[in-house]
Structure 1
Amino acid sequence: MPSSGSYAMVLDSTFSTERRACRFSRILIDGGSSINILYRDTMEKLGIKQGQLQPSRTVFHGIVPGLSCSPIGKVKIDVMFGDKNHFHREPIWFEVVDLDSPYHALLGRPALAKFMEVPHYAYLKMKMPGPKGIITIAGDYQKSLTCAAASSQLDESLFIAEEKRLLDRVVAMASKQSDMPTDPKSAETQGSFQAAKETKKIALDQADPKRFAVVGSHLDNR
């Protein structure tokens, strides 16, 4: 394997619900993640409706570098590794996200601990205990390369979309500011304060006629 240790571990696994079971070929094993993630497309393949999800308060970062994400809910799914003759099955809680991804799901530390899995990133293999002994699941570095390339393109497109959204916001704010009057006199006439229509001058200094104040004509001279 060229450049061993530089590839993500992408394995096959079976997910099952009360309605159906599906075999998925692109399950990302990420020991650096503190949560397990299920993508909306995978949720729909399993026949799970959004109304079946439980509320989630989780907000996390890192799926798309520089961007945060809030899940649309969480759900518990049975996950199985191995084959029909020798397998290990565990119920796993997933945070469901409404994002596109080349992966079907991500298994983080909670799932690794549940299965008592030991991943070996140099050989892209993972081992776990089973009822008949050790179960070994092997990955494929060519599949890892394909998923990594697709993930990079997706991250780039999401960054472009986010930058465009921020740029549109700046342009809208600049346009709004340009509509504001720049002439102080014009701004003064458009302000909430309007001078009284009937006014009179009150002398402030009898020796200097230029020193006076303008007040409403209904006020007295006191």
Structure 2
Amino acid sequence: MVLDSTFSIERRACRFSRVMIDGGSNINILYRDTMEKLGIKKKQLQPSWTVFHGIVPGLSCSPIGKIKIDVLFGDKTHFRREPIWFEVVDLDNPYHVLLGRPALAKFMAVPHYAYLKMKIPGPKGIITIVGEYKKSVMCAAASSRLAESLVIAEEKRLLDRVVAMASKQPDMPSDPKETEPEGSFQPAKETKEITLHLAHPEKYAVMGANLDRK
């Protein structure tokens, strides 16, 4: 679900049209490009130790910091405003912002993904925010292509590392005898059979022919 929303910081407010509503995410995400559009500097971010998965399949991501921003839904005649904490990530993405469960809980929002509508209680009653199917489909397709390209790039990086490690391994000798360490046991080339018991000549031992009889 992709909706419109206004984001406000000190001395600046911007309305973004590609705000993804994701009730399956346990964090709210602000992308670096959006942060720069809001005029937020990296030095204004607070440290974050969050590590999360799911934006890029199979890969983990660590934010560059976190920040609290006021989020507004509605219009100038009827709106609701709440301060929301965001994890800021340095990733390309077709969305401006991702609002997860923490934001939905803060607004007490009820999203309906089939109808692309979200309802939240406001000071004058229920506020209904309506999304667009065409915009949602376009963003989803762009996000899928981007995730696929990132996975391919990661797989290539891992393959290059494996090839580099393999190139550092010593070449295997063509003659297996060359791999035998010095001083290893080698059977004598000249041997003789020694009968163990005269009554049983079929039982014998093999020993070197040049060994002393003692």
Taking structure 1 as the reference length, what is the TM-score of the superposition?
0.77
Q: Which residue among 53, 75, 84 is the counterpart of 2:45?
A: 53
What is the match of residue 112 of structure 2?
Answer: 120
Change (3 A) 1:181 1:153: closer
What number of residue pairs does the alignment pair up?
182
Are positions 1:95 and 2:87 aligned together? Answer: yes
Is the 8 Å Cα contact of residues 181 and 187 (structure 1) preserved in structure 2?
A: no
Offset at residue 67 of structure 1 (A): 1.0
Is the 8 Å Cα contact of residues 119 and 126 (structure 1) preserved in structure 2?
A: yes
Offset at residue 19 of structure 1 (A): 3.5
What is the match of residue 167 of structure 1?
Answer: 159
What amino acid does structure 2 have at the position aligned with 1:18? E
Structure 1 residue ranges without an equivalent (≥5): 1-8, 190-206, 210-222
Query: In 2, distance between residues paired with 1:46 and 1:61?
Result: 26
What is the match of residue 140 of structure 1?
Answer: 132
Indicate the structure (1 or 2) with the bigger Cα radius of gyration. 2
What is the match of residue 102 of structure 2?
Answer: 110
Once the two structures are superposed, residues 100-146 of structure 1 have per-residue CA deviations (whole angstroms, 9 ceiling, x without a partner) of 10000100010001001011112110011111111100000100110
RMSD (Å), alpha carbons: 1.9
What is the match of residue 78 of structure 1?
Answer: 70
**Larger strand share, 1 or 2:** 2
What amino acid does structure 1 have at the position aligned with 2:144? S
Query: In 1, distance between residues paired with 2:85 and 2:168?
Result: 46
What amino acid does structure 1 have at the position aligned with 2:58? G
Structure 2 residue ranges without an equivalent (≥5): 183-209
Query: In 2, distance between residues paired with 1:20 and 1:174?
Result: 54
Change (3 A) 1:122 1:181: closer
Poorly superposed stretches of 4+, deviation over 3 Å: 181-189
Aligned-residue sequence identity (percent) comes to: 80
What amino acid does structure 2 have at the position aligned with 1:92? I
Are positions 1:41 and 2:27 aligned together? Answer: no
Taking structure 2 as the reference length, what is the TM-score of the superposition?
0.80
Q: Which residue among 7, 15, 18 is the counterpart of 1:26?
A: 18
Is the 8 Å Cα contact of residues 56 and 95 (structure 1) preserved in structure 2?
A: yes
SS in 2 for 1:157: helix
